[in-house]
Amino acid sequence: MLEQTVTMAHGSGGESTGRLIAELFAKNFSNEYLDRMTDSSVVPGSAQIAMTTDSFVVTPVEYPGGDIGRLAVCGTVNDLLMSGAVPKYLTAGFILEEGLPMETLRRVVKSMADTAREAGVLIVTGDTKVVENHSSDAKGEGGLYINTAGVGFVPEGTRLDAASIRPGDKILVSGTLGEHHATILAKRMGLENESLESDNAPLDDIVNHLRTSGAAVRAMRDVTRGGLATVLSEFVLSSGQQIEIEESLIPVKKPVRDFCGILGLEPVYMGNEGKLIAVIAPEDASKALDAVRSAKYGENAAIIGEVTGDHGEGSAELILKTPVGGRRVLGPLYGEGLPRIC
Amino acid sequence: MLEQTVTMAHGSGGESTGRLIAELFAKNFSNEYLDRMTDSSVVPGSAQIAMTTDSFVVTPVEYPGGDIGRLAVCGTVNDLLMSGAVPKYLTAGFILEEGLPMETLRRVVKSMADTAREAGVLIVTGDTKVVENHSSDAKGEGGLYINTAGVGFVPEGTRLDAASIRPGDKILVSGTLGEHHATILAKRMGLENESLESDNAPLDDIVNHLRTSGAAVRAMRDVTRGGLATVLSEFVLSSGQQIEIEESLIPVKKPVRDFCGILGLEPVYMGNEGKLIAVIAPEDASKALDAVRSAKYGENAAIIGEVTGDHGEGSAELILKTPVGGRRVLGPLYGEGLPRIC
């Protein structure tokens, strides 16, 4: 039996740590590699691998549509996918604050395990540390941070590079924007808005459908912190090509639109945790759109604009065309954004 | 120019995060893969890979003989080495508390870079998050946590397994015990003991010397939290073989012995961050000892005991033979140990 809350002893590396690992992590994450319970996991490799890491510090740790565990799996899986890799293995590093309710940890770990299964990856090794609880929240409960690092296999000939973006290419977004950001923000503000739910999801099915469709994908990025405008600004910068998007074509759910309207927020700068942008060769745009729309989490995909070309050195910009015929230059997110959104 | 201290904006994913990455992480860790500045790093792989992860939460973050950055590199490199892998790539995930002095972070990052070079590994991708500072320390400065995950290549035919331990095998320890633990503990107690210094070091040279020597190594483990007794207890458990060690042969430096004496601590339970235990075939013991002694950080290596065999079901124990002829049964570390030692 595990204690009701996490204590410093759970991070000692001794007997308490052993029980926490056996009764919680090993049971939920079980697979042939993790089950060997070695400090390093030896797994089949590949000629080219992709590696990524992300630490997750989101507060609150549970929110409508997801939790820090689901986020930690999706974030790393999605980063691997965006490099053209097939995600294979994750590592999981837990930093727990003493006082964290064991039930919270149990739900988070179960959610990680479920999400890993959904995304087709194995959690092959892990680590647990416990730190003092300096929590300033009303309940005084401890929180947790999760780091996931991931390894994916990169098929030969894979090349995704914003530098290959060309005039005429279409901008595809895989779904509605802003849900994760709006959900976390509403929770932090203490608003009980039942129509807001995070989009927290793995993008493997969308990427697989795109790949199978045969559409020529020039570049692909998940749209996380900083939002659509930040990702597209980076595409403009690295390709030297102007990109123009139509505000009226950008999919945003009504509750998010309403929430943004009240607070003066812009969906194009809001963070997501289950959306991607793909730049597609013009002749393949409708094929790509059909592919994404038929994938899990891709039903609201849309083509929202195009690459309009090289308008002379240094002058390429990201342009938002407004419904009333205006043209607004968008830059990357500047300043704080919303801390601890992921 | 970076700010004097870390602020929440450094974790926003926006412009401040970008400057921190460019001016601190990218400059220090620079290599052909990291320099591409992609979310995932695509690197050459291998048919069999080892993966490991560790989060480091040590306080204080700087101490005689090392710091959290050196620790984070050594810990993961050493875990990979113990699985028989050649360490190749690390990921680095930073969780910074706001208020962390930028100079502290600069020193830690430089130390990580130096240690990675020393150990022959590349830091190929990273992540930075900032959390509120609830620090209860007198200075009110923010601290930091570092997660490193590592990938190593596993040569074909590599097999290290405690189950292969046989009667007569010799127990080799690569150097003096207890320095890291004693150093951290003394610092926490506010003692200025200038003769104590952590053993914080990568074990690659020792492992390479052992490999080149051709000595038959049955099993190998780094001796970290829980100390020698915990590692050897696990060997006893997984092999079913009794192990007997001589207290008088266990190398311990005088300052550590004195410190332990005053506080009633036992070096065999103290944590290290640059020591390994290897179980060696009897005929190769002196060859292995010579090899380790000629390696960097191996000059104080010693043979401290042997495997005395299967004494019937369930009865195998770890025995410490004392200088006065006593025989004491040692178990693994039970209880708290020293939290946040790594």
Q: Are residues A179 and A41 in the same domain?
A: no
Q: In what order do the strands lie in the sheet with A318-321?
A: A217-222, A276-280, A170-173, A302-309, A242-246, A318-321, A327-330
Per the CB < 8 Å rule, is B147 touching A93? yes
Last residue of a domain, one of A133, A154, A175: A154
pLDDT band at B258 (very low <50, low <70, confident <90, very high): very high
Q: Is B185 a domain residue?
A: yes
Helix residue ranges per DSSP H, B155-266: 179-188, 204-213, 227-239, 254-263
Q: Are residues A265 and A135 in the same domain?
A: no
pTM across the whole model: 0.95
Instruction: Pick the residue of B34, B147, B207 with the most A CBs within 10 A to test the interface with A by mutation.
Output: B147
Here the CATH number for the domain that contains residue A286 is 3.90.650.10
Which chain A residues are within 8 Å of B13, Cβ to Cβ? 224-226, 230, 271, 333, 337
What H or E segment, with its residue span, contains residue B84? none
**In the predicted model, is pLDDT for residue A137 greater than 60?**
no
Cα A256 to Cα A196: distance, rounded to the nearest angstrom: 7
Nearest CB neighbour to A89, from listed B12, B51, B342: B51
Which chain B residues are within 8 Å of A131, Cβ to Cβ? 57, 145, 340
Q: What is the pLDDT of residue B268?
A: 96
Least confident of A140-144, B75-79, B112-116, B264-268: A140-144
Q: Are residues A174 and A122 in the same domain?
A: no
Q: Is B336 a domain residue?
A: no
Which chain B residues are within 8 Å of A153, Cβ to Cβ? 45
Q: Is B335 a domain residue?
A: no
Last residue of a domain, one of A138, A154, A170: A154
Q: Are residues B180 and B96 in the same domain?
A: no
Per the CB < 8 Å rule, is A53 touching B127? yes
Q: How many CB pairs under 8 A join A and B?
A: 249
**In the predicted model, is pLDDT for residue B135 greater than 90?**
no
Residue of A nearest to B55 (CA): A93
Least confident of A310-324, B13-27, B159-173: A310-324
Please name which of A133, A13, A128 lies closest in space to residue B338, comparing C-alpha atoms. Answer: A13
Instruction: Pick the residue of A31, A38, A53 with the most B CBs within 10 A to test the interface with B by mutation.
Output: A53
Which chain B residues are within 8 Å of A82, Cβ to Cβ? 39-40
Per the CB < 8 Å rule, is B149 touching A147? yes
Q: Is B334 a domain residue?
A: no
Residue-averaged pLDDT of chain A: 93
Which chain B residues are within 8 Å of A13, Cβ to Cβ? 224-226, 230, 271, 333, 337
B89 touches chain A (CB under 8 A): yes
Q: Are residues A94 and A196 in the same domain?
A: no
Last residue of a domain, one of A154, A184, A199: A154
Which chain A residues are within 8 Å of B337, Cβ to Cβ? 12-14
Cα A142 to Cα B191: distance, rounded to the nearest angstrom: 30
Does residue A60 have a cis peptide bond before it, meaning omega lies within 30 degrees of 0? yes
The whole-number average pLDDT for the span B213-223 is 95
Question: Could you read off the pLDDT of B52-70 as tens digits, one per residue?
Answer: 999 999 999 999 999 999 9
Nearest CB neighbour to B40, from listed A12, A52, A95: A52
Q: Are residues A191 and A320 in the same domain?
A: yes
% of chain A surpassing 90 pLDDT: 81
Q: Is B339 a domain residue?
A: no
Q: Are residues A23 and A138 in the same domain?
A: yes
Q: What is the pLDDT of residue A337?
A: 75
Which chain A residues are within 8 Å of B153, Cβ to Cβ? 45
% of chain B surpassing 90 pLDDT: 82
Per the CB < 8 Å rule, is A93 touching B334? no
Q: Is A338 a domain residue?
A: no
First to last CA, chain B: 31
Q: Are residues A107 and A254 in the same domain?
A: no
With tokens 């002058």, the residue in question is A315
Residue of B nearest to A83 (CA): B40
B140 touches chain A (CB under 8 A): no
Cα B184 to Cα B170: distance, rounded to the nearest angstrom: 31
Here the CATH number for the domain that contains residue B35 is 3.30.1330.10
Nearest CB neighbour to B154, from listed A8, A42, A93: A42
Q: Which domain holds residue A300?
A: 162-329
Per the CB < 8 Å rule, is A40 touching B51? yes
Question: What is the SS3 assignment for A240?
Answer: coil
Q: Are residues A192 and A288 in the same domain?
A: yes
Cα B9 to Cα A338: distance, rounded to the nearest angstrom: 9
Sign of the CA dihedral B324, B326, B332, B336? negative
Q: What is the pLDDT of residue B160?
A: 75
Residue of B nearest to A332 (CA): B14
Question: How close, in Å, is residue B42 to chain A by CA atoms?
Answer: 4
Name the residue type at position B20.
L
Q: What is the pLDDT of residue B337?
A: 75
Residue-averaged pLDDT of chain B: 93
Residue of A nearest to B125 (CA): A52
Per the CB < 8 Å rule, is B12 touching A129? no
Cα A123 to Cα B314: distance, rounded to the nearest angstrom: 33
Q: What is the pLDDT of residue B313?
A: 62
Q: Is A234 a domain residue?
A: yes
Cα B291 to Cα B215: distance, rounded to the nearest angstrom: 9
Q: Are residues B76 and B201 in the same domain?
A: no
The whole-number average pLDDT for the span A245-263 is 97
Q: Are residues A208 and A280 in the same domain?
A: yes
Tokens encoding B232? 């050897």
Q: Has the ipTM of the complex gone over 0.90?
A: yes
Comparing A23 with B313, the larger pLDDT belongs to A23
User: How far is residue B34 CA from its own chain's centroid?
Assistant: 24
User: How far is residue B125 CA from its own chain's centroid?
Assistant: 21
Per the CB < 8 Å rule, is B51 touching A43? yes
Taking each helix axis from N to C terminus, what angle separates A179-188 and A254-263, rounded to the nearest 10 degrees?
50
The total domain count for chain A is: 2
Residue of B nearest to A333 (CA): B14
Q: Are residues A228 and A255 in the same domain?
A: yes
Cα B37 to Cα B8: distance, rounded to the nearest angstrom: 22
Q: Is B3 a domain residue?
A: no
Question: Could you read off the pLDDT of A62-86 as tens digits, one per residue?
Answer: 999 999 999 999 999 999 999 999 9
Nearest CB neighbour to B89, from listed A51, A126, A230: A51
